Amino acid sequence: MKREDLADLTAFVAVADAGNFTRAAVQLGVSQSAVSHTIRRLEASLGFKLLNRTSRNVSTTDAGAKLLAALRPGLDQISARIEELRSLGDAPRGLLRVTSSMTGARTVLWPVVSAMVRDYPEVQIEINTDSRVSDLAEDRFDAAVRLGESVGPDMIGVPAGPPLRMAAVASPAYFARRGVPLHPDDLDDHDCLTMRFSSNSVIYDWEFERDEKEIVKRVTGPFVFNESDFLIKAACDGYGIAFVTEPEIRAAVANGSLRRVLEDWCPPFSGFTLCYSGRRQTSSALRLLIDRLRYRG
């Protein structure tokens, strides 16, 4: 596409939105005759009429309405991106408080913020690692890194990582002693290492799915943890089966410390998301974090 084609299409969107050549000209900062000439040139180039004109107003033709619908998402995205970059013109500064699970902090947050503070020395970042889902306003956090399913309805969520899968794992010695579960229901006969995300929350149930069949298991075992690091350590030491996200146990599976089971019952789900309140003004530091942490696949 030529540069002038994009300018002509932008002018068409402005006229269609304004419903009037004069208002569109004011918005674009050019003369009314220039806008009229631009639309005529665009129609001639495309080979079909875009606007119905009256003495005072204009409206889109059927073809114009279809073109407008096709153009608007892309132009809106470009405008939003330009505004986002413009907002970064002033060097970000100040304290940014972020809460995250330990896994989210380690796998998606730290690689970004560690580089961010080097590039912007006037930004200070406080990271709170907590498995519970915090109330951002009550706990005075600017943002949180959580699994996508934990984003509240009043939060804005930005994907911060690829899809994840859960993994059921235990040490080879444990499976040699207790046998290997082949179905989620077999977990009833096993020691399972469980998680409670906060002191007043219930123990996390294990969720499995295969062939559109969902199974939720309420499991028990010798230990209950609130962070996955100790849970994985207990699994490596042979105390039972752990159920954690794939990235957390990838190295241990690769070196033989842990063995994975029930893999075909663990489908992908939405990965880590950066969430923040849409009701509060977004600081320059938070805008920078959003831009850098956004997962683009």
Task: Say which CATH architecture domain 166-265 belongs to.
Answer: 3-Layer(aba) Sandwich (3.40)
pLDDT of residue 30: 83
Residue 29, CB half-sphere, CA atoms under 13 Å: how many? 1
Which pTM does this prediction carry? 0.62
Tens of pLDDT along the chain (297 residues) come to 455 577 888 888 888 888 888 888 877 888 888 888 899 998 988 889 999 987 677 889 999 899 988 888 887 777 656 655 555 556 788 889 999 988 889 989 999 999 999 999 889 999 988 766 666 766 788 899 988 666 666 778 889 988 999 999 999 999 999 999 999 999 999 999 999 877 777 898 999 999 989 999 999 999 999 888 899 999 999 999 999 999 999 999 999 999 999 999 999 988 899 988 876 677 888 989 999 999 876
Q: How many other C-beta atoms can be found within 10 angstroms of the C-beta atom of residue 183?
A: 11
Q: How high is the pLDDT of residue 137?
A: 67
- In this prediction, residue 256 carries a pLDDT of 97
For CATH 1.10.10.10, the residue range(s) in the chain are 3-87
In this prediction, residue 23 carries a pLDDT of: 82
Domain with CATH 3.40.190.290 in the chain: 166-265
Domain boundaries for CATH 3.40.190.10 within the chain: 94-162+271-293
The answer to whether residues 251 and 125 touch, using CB atoms and an 8 Å cutoff, is: no
Q: What is the pLDDT of residue 88?
A: 53
Which class does domain 3-87 fall in? Answer: mainly alpha
Q: What is the pLDDT of residue 135?
A: 67
**What was the pLDDT predicted at 93?**
82
Of 134, 225, 178, 3, nearest in space to 126 by CA: 134
The residue type of 280 is R
Contacts of 212 (CB under 8 A, 6+ apart): none
On whether the 94-162+271-293 domain is CATH 3.40.190.10, my answer is: yes
**Per residue, what are the HEC states of the chain?**
CCHHHHHHHHHHHHHHHHCCHHHHHHHHCCCHHHHHHHHHHHHHHHCCCCEEECCCCEEECHHHHHHHHHHHHHHHHHHHHHHHHHHCCCCCCEEEEEEECHHHHHHHHHHHHHHHHHHCCCEEEEEEECCCCCCHHHHCCCEEEEEHHHCCCCEEEEECCCCECEEEEECHHHHHHHCCCCCHHHHHHCCECEECCCCCCCCCCEEEEECCEEEEECCCCCCEECCHHHHHHHHHCCCCEEEEEHHHHHHHHHCCCCEEECHHHCCCECCEEEEEECCCCCCHHHHHHHHHHCCCC
Residue 26, judged by CB atoms within 10 A of its CB (0-12, 13-18, 19+), counts as middle
Per DSSP, what are the bridge partners of residue 100?
129, 145
Q: Quick one: which of 223, 229, 202 has its CA closest to 102?
A: 229
